[in-house]
């Protein structure tokens, strides 16, 4: 059975656990495995399952919450106790004001469900405790989705992978006369917890921090020189905006509405030159972690990037940033088909290519 933590919450441009499994052979039990662009945490989680230590970072709080939930999952009994405690303290008579976007929120969620969501948003300390991080990740995975097909979803009909834009969503719901279902968030959280824990949580715990990859080495100095394997995929070139696509989940975590005019804080770069420059800086940021003979498995994706360009630029950026001898050991290229392709936002149609590279740091 596929481990049930993998699909707690979907994410963009995610790689499957088989990709990580395949490359874990470049490390041994007890080694430290790194992913500086952790996304939904597959590298970290799979490494822990296979008895490695694991560390990761990401700038996006959704990625950090979901990865942290998997990397430091508490016992099920504690999760259920905490859900019970939260439910006991919940008062459905209290008003739950709209933070703005009234039309959107009032059409997206049934009033009774909305009160529970606002209450959980205010009371889940996902940055403080592993138990609350796990419950929050469960909630993020259920916050929106195809509620006409599953009971484990809190919203009016919406894709589960991306949060559609507010005005568009309201127009679409009204045109189709879609009504938000009345769902009990506490009940759903309980059922989801029991379902997820049908797979055993790993005994090892990993470390996931909210950090720009360029600063990660400084954030976790205790791992200096200890990483023998990095498996990662940096933000895809000109493909997706991880904040915009996850705006509803981000709203839940930060209680801030999206600022459409602000420049994105994630590092999607439209100009290829800036992108490769960014990657050089990211490799310099993780350089302190790398043991001699470390293996680096890197997936590069984008709309137009060719395998030759990816190989050349990636090799240059690694050699320049690490200031060590770096040898290309293997490479593959693939066209994205089926499910993965559809996990990109609609505007990103044409995102079809992924190039994988395996480098070894020779000394
Ligand atoms: C291609 S996704 C990684 C997906 C991941 N491999 C998975 O399976 O879920 C790239 C990630 O890089 C993150 N990111 C973008 N800019 C970053 C930066 N400067 N430092 C760290 N993470 C960043 C994005 O938030 C996104 O989660």
> How far, CA to CA in Å, does 261 sit from each of 171, 244, 271, 275?
22, 11, 20, 22
Query: Which of 189-193, 215-219, 344-348 has the weakest average pLDDT?
Result: 344-348
Domains and CATH numbers, the chain: 17-72+204-361 (3.40.50.150), 76-196 (no CATH)
Å from CA of 300 to ligand 1 middle: 12
| Ligand 1 atom showing the smallest separation from residue 60 Cα | 25
The pLDDT tens digits of the residues spanning 92-102 come to 999 999 999 99
pLDDT, position 269: 63
- Give the separation between CA 224 and CA 47, rounded to whole angstroms: 18
Atom of ligand 1 nearest to the CA of 278: 19
Give yes or no for residue 341 having a pLDDT over 50.
no
- Residue of 37, 70, 275, 285 to mutate, ligand 1, most atoms within 8 A of C-beta: 37
Neighbouring C-beta atoms of residue 262, cutoff 10 Å: 8
Mutational pocket test of ligand 1: of 39, 215, 305, 353, the residue with most ligand atoms within 8 Å of the beta carbon: 39
| pLDDT, tens digit (0-9, with 9 covering 90-100), for 293-314 | 999 999 998 877 889 999 999 9
Q: How confident is the model at residue 268 (pLDDT cuts 50, 70, 90)?
A: low
Residue 356 CB–ligand 1 contact under 6 Å: no
What's the burial of 218, exposed, middle or buried (CB within 10 Å: 0-12/13-18/19+)? exposed
- The residue whose two tokens read 């490695």 is 52
How would residue 333 be classed by pLDDT, with cut points 50, 70 and 90?
confident
Cβ-defined contacts of 155-162 (< 8 Å, 24+):
155/108, 155/109, 155/180, 156/107, 156/108, 156/109, 156/180, 156/181, 158/108, 160/10, 161/10, 161/12, 161/342, 161/343, 162/12, 162/245, 162/246, 162/345
Average the pLDDT over each of 4-8, 291-295, 313-317, 353-357 and give the range with the smallest value: 353-357
Q: Is 15 in the pocket of ligand 1 (CB under 6 A)?
A: yes
Task: Provide the pLDDT for residue 237.
Answer: 79
Please state which of the ranges 23-32, 199-208, 229-238 shows the lowest mean pLDDT.
229-238
> Tell me: the pLDDT tens digits for 5-32?
999 999 877 889 999 999 999 999 999 9
266 CA distance to ligand 1 middle (Å) = 8
Burial letters for 273-293: b for 16+ Cβ neighbours within 10 Å, e otherwise?
A: eebbebbbbbbbbbbbbbbee
Distance 37 CA to ligand 1 centre (A): 4
Contacts of 252 (CB under 8 A, 6+ apart): 117, 121, 136, 139, 140, 143
pLDDT for residue 238: 67
CA of 336 to the centre of ligand 1 (A): 18
Question: Would you say residue 107 has pLDDT above 90?
Answer: yes
Using a 6 Å cutoff on CB, does residue 275 contact ligand 1?
no
The reply to whether ligand 1 has any atom less than 6 angstroms from the CB of 60 is: yes
Helix/strand/coil for 108 = helix
Average pLDDT for residues 316-326, to the nearest whole number? 95
* Binding site membership of 17 for ligand 1 (Cβ less than 6 Å): no
Surface-to-core class of residue 164, CB atoms within 10 Å of its CB (0-12 exposed, 13-18 middle, 19+ buried): buried
**Confidence (pLDDT) at 13:** 73
Locate the DSSP E strands across the chain: 32-35, 53-58, 207-210, 227-232, 290-302, 326-335, 353-361
Ligand 1 pocket member 14 (CB < 6 A): yes
- Tell me the β-bridge partners of 229: 33, 295
Please calculate the CA angle 68-152-65 and round it to the nearest 5 degrees: 15
Across the chain, mean pLDDT equals: 91
* Pocket lining: 298 vs ligand 1, CB cutoff 6 Å: no
């Amino acid at each position: 059975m596929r481990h049930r933590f993998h699909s707690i919450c979907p994410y963009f441009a995610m790689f499957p656990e088989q990709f990580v499994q395949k490359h874990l052979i470049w490390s041994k039990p007890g080694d430290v495995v790194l992913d500086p662009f952790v996304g939904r945490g597959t590298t970290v989680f799979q490494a822990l399952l296979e008895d490695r230590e694991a560390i990761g970072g990401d700038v996006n709080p959704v990625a950090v919450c979901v990865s942290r939930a998997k990397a430091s999952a508490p016992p099920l009994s504690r999760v259920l106790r905490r859900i019970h405690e939260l439910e006991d303290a919940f008062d459905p008579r209290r008003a739950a004001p709209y933070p703005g976007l009234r039309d959107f929120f009032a059409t997206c969620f049934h009033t009774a469900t909305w009160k529970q969501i606002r209450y959980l948003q205010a009371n889940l300390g996902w940055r403080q405790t592993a138990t609350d991080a796990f419950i929050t990740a469960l909630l993020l995975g259920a916050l929106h989705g195809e509620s006409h097909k599953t009971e484990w979803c809190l919203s009016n009909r919406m894709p589960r992978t991306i949060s559609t834009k507010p005005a568009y969503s309201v127009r679409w719901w009204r045109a189709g006369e879609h009504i938000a279902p009345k769902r009990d968030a506490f009940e759903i959280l309980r059922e989801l917890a029991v379902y997820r824990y049908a797979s055993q949580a790993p005994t090892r715990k990993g470390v996931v921090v909210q950090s720009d990859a360029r600063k990660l080495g400084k954030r976790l100095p205790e791992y200096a020189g200890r990483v023998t394997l990095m498996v990662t995929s940096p933000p895809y070139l000109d493909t997706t905006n991880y904040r915009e696509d996850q705006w509803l989940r981000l709203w839940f975590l930060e209680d801030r509405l999206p600022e459409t005019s602000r420049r994105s804080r994630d590092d999607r770069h439209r100009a290829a030159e800036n992108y490769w420059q960014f990657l050089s800086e990211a490799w310099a940021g993780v350089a302190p972690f790398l043991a001699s003979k470390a293996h680096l498995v890197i997936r590069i994706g984008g709309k137009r990037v060719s395998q030759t360009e990816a190989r050349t630029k990636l090799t240059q950026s690694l050699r320049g940033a690490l200031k060590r001898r770096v040898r290309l050991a293997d490479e593959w290229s693939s066209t994205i088909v089926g499910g993965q392709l559809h996990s990109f936002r609609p505007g990103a149609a044409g995102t079809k290519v992924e190039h994988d590279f395996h480098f070894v740091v020779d000394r």
